[in-house]
Amino acid sequence: MISVCFPAKNEGKFIERNVKVARRTPNVMEVIVIDGGSTDNTIKKALKAGAHIVYQSDLKYPGKGIAMRDGVYYARGSIVVFLDADIKNLDSSMILSLTKPIVNGEADFVKGAFGRKAGRVTELVAKPLLRMFYPELTSFSQPLSGEIAGLKSIFLSVSFEEDWGVDVGLLIDLYRKGFKIVEIDIGFKDHDMKPLYLLTDMAYDVAKAILTRAMMDGKIDKISYDKYIKAIPEEIGEFK
């Protein structure tokens, strides 16, 4: 059975529709909205549409990773799907495409790819760094996509980055643990894009998540890492 989780911060515009779409998708047993301190009508709309609400334990921003981790612990389904709450054209087929390889036993973790154009942080930060340190993962066209599905048990086996590094961190950590990962095209995703000046922090978090793992894997020596990459997360989990 499937739990669909929407990490959301001020998504009153689309949340009601998206929760409804997720709820009427076959095999979806529950829809969970993990709120990151919304001050608009996100909660009201999500409740109206029949979602379960839980508030992320630590209200810092960016806290998408905290919200995702909390969602995993709240979910009752054996398969957990994460979707961005700001998708304008979500439909059930996206959820079904994401979960199908898991239901069929062909994958433990599915990354959703959408449209032809990947984001700016993906092309300019994630992909070059992955090419340097994890060339095995360059085949993923959208390593940062927030539309993912996985067995709950595999999510419980890794630690989540708290910030925007969460999606690429999960990809690398689950890959390193040897889980079966596939990327699936889920069609075109229509959503508002952040202005360029808001992407610096996101790019930083993504770079930090990749470089930290590269250091843990001995691909960057720890002394340079400590010297040049100031922010070191406490724990990113053990690699197999």
Partner 1 sequence: MRYIVVGGGHISQFILRTIASSDRKAVITIIERSQEKATVTAKQFNAEPLWGDLENPKILEKANISICDLFIASTEIDALNIRLCEAAKRVYGVPFVIGVVNNPLNSEIIKKAGADIVLDPIGLALRILELKVKRYGCISILKEDECGFNFSILKFKDSTSIVKNENIKIILIRNGKPAEDDVVARGDLLLAIGSGKEFNEAVKKMLKE
Interface residue list for ligand GTP (CB under 6 A): 7-9, 11, 34-36, 56, 61-64, 67, 84-86, 119, 146, 191, 193-194
What is the separation of C-alpha 196 from the centre of its chain, rounded to a whole number of angstroms? 21
- Which of 78, 80, 10, 22 minimizes the C-alpha distance to 51? 22
Closer CB to partner 1, 162 or 183, in the complex: 162
Q: Which residue is nearest to ligand GTP (CB)?
A: 36
DSSP summary character for residue 10? S
Cβ-based burial of 182 (10 A; exposed 0-12, middle 13-18, buried ≥19): middle
Task: Return the one option of ligand GTP, partner 1, none that residue 53 interacts with (CB less than 5 to 8 A, by type).
Answer: partner 1
Instruction: Give the one entry of ligand GTP, partner 1, none that residue 119 binds, where binding means its C-beta sits below a cut-off of 5 to 8 angstroms depending on kind.
Output: ligand GTP
Task: For partner 1, give the closer residue by CB, 28 or 43.
Answer: 43
The span from the CA of 108 to the CA of 93, in Å, is 19
Q: How far apart are CA 222 and CA 240, in angstroms?
A: 19
CB of 228 to ligand GTP, least distance (A): 26
On the 0-12 / 13-18 / 19+ scale of CB atoms within 10 A, 164 is: buried
92-151 residues near partner 1, rule: CB under 8 A: none
Q: How far apart are alpha carbons 209 and 2 in whole angstroms?
A: 28
232 binding partner (options ligand GTP, partner 1, none; Cβ < 5 to 8 Å by kind): none
Give the binding-site size for partner 1 (rule: CB under 8 A).
Answer: 16
Question: In terms of DSSP bridges, do strands 109-113 and 148-151 run parallel, antiparallel, or are they unpaired?
Answer: antiparallel
193 binds, among ligand GTP, partner 1, none (CB under 5 to 8 A by kind): ligand GTP
Backbone angles phi, psi at 167, to 5 degrees: -70, -45
191 contact choice in ligand GTP, partner 1, none (CB below 5 to 8 Å, kind-dependent): ligand GTP
CA angle 90, 105, 175 (to 5 degrees): 80
Quick one: 11 or 30, whose CB is closer to ligand GTP? 11
Q: What is the spatial distance between Cα 128 and Cα 126, in angstroms, rounded to a whole number?
A: 6
Residue 36 C-beta: closest distance to ligand GTP, Å: 2
Residues 43-102 that bind partner 1 (CB under 8 A): 53-59, 69-74
Query: In the bound complex, what is the minimum distance in angstroms from residue 199's beta carbon to partner 1?
Result: 28
Residue 126 CB, nearest distance to ligand GTP (Å)?
11
For ligand GTP, the closer CB: 36 or 150:
36
Helix (H) or strand (E) holding 200: helix 199-216
Positions touching partner 1 (CB under 8 A) are: 34-35, 53-59, 69-74, 156
